[in-house]
Amino acid sequence: MRFDVFSLFPEVFQPYLEISILKRAIANGLIEVNTHNIRDWATDKHHTTDDTPYGGGGGMVMKPEPVFAAVESVLGSPPACPVILLCPQGELFTQSIARGLASQEHLALLCGRYESFDERIREHLATRVISIGDYVLTGGELPALIVMDAIARLQPGVLGDREATDDDSHSADGLLEYPQWTKPAEFRGWSVPEVMQNGNLGEQLKWKRQQSLIRTLKWRPDLLEKANLSDKDRKFLKKYIEESDGERDS
């Protein structure tokens, strides 16, 4: 899978791309990441990429000319792949969106700076606007890295011998992942649950599912509204809630 990233600070990306899983994925040809400095397409002697907003207001706005020129120079006109604009006004990035985008062979990520983009970039160049959360950052580089990481790890071979991602939080069933442990079995008096040590796979799978349900209920109850729950899951949650309410009342 190929990513083309357009930014005023492309050097931000290299340290993260040169370590661990993404480094190996790039070295093995599983993903390709090309970064492009938008400023290289500014035509004035100062390489200006921003200007004051029409109508007044604070901050500066990224100009359309260098952004269009950068994207079209690399990707053609119209661009040969989806162009994702990273912006806090966009749709909230989720694991479901990551899975959908992972099916693409080529994606472009457009990182903003300053106050905002000229609206013509959003309307006539970007094909999708994505936000990583309801907060504002100084630029789109960190969101772009997050989007790339989430999509890249879904590509075949990127995770090596850990191909299955269905148990991850926010995966197909919509639940948070169950708790995990490793050796030693006891640390500072805190022990790994016996069920996770007894070697009974059936009991362990049942326990993991129940822990996912409990963790989602406690930490992200909003996810349960859309989660893929069986009748057994619903019965377990009902019983758990009733027992928890009973303990609080006693």
Domain ranges of the chain: 2-152, 186-249
Reported confidence tier of residue 250, pLDDT bands at 50, 70, 90: low
Reported confidence tier of residue 69, pLDDT bands at 50, 70, 90: very high
Question: 130: helix, coil or strand?
Answer: strand
Is 32 assigned a catalytic role? no
| pTM for this predicted structure | 0.85
If you average pLDDT over residues 173-202, what whole number do you get? 94
The Cα–Cα gap between 250 and 248 comes to: 6
If you average pLDDT over residues 4-14, what whole number do you get? 97
- The tens digit of pLDDT for each residue in 201-231 reads 999 999 999 999 999 999 999 999 989 999 9
- Decide yes or no: CATH 3.30.1280.10 for domain 186-249: no
Evaluated on CA atoms 144, 149, 151, 156, the torsion sign reads: positive
Which ranges of the chain does DSSP label H, i.e. alpha helix?
14-17, 20-27, 64-75, 95-101, 119-124, 141-152, 201-219, 231-249
Is 88 assigned a catalytic role? yes
pLDDT at 163 over 80: no
Reported confidence tier of residue 160, pLDDT bands at 50, 70, 90: confident
Is 115 assigned a catalytic role? yes
- Decide yes or no: CATH 3.40.1280.10 for domain 2-152: yes
Reported confidence tier of residue 166, pLDDT bands at 50, 70, 90: low
- The tens digit of pLDDT for each residue in 82-131 reads 999 999 999 999 999 999 999 999 999 999 988 789 999 999 999 999 99
Q: Give the active site residue among 168, 173, 209, 215.
A: 168
pLDDT on residue 162: 53
pLDDT on residue 9: 96
Q: Give the active site residue among 65, 72, 115, 177.
A: 115
pLDDT on residue 168: 64
Q: Do domains 2-152 and 186-249 have the same CATH topology?
A: no
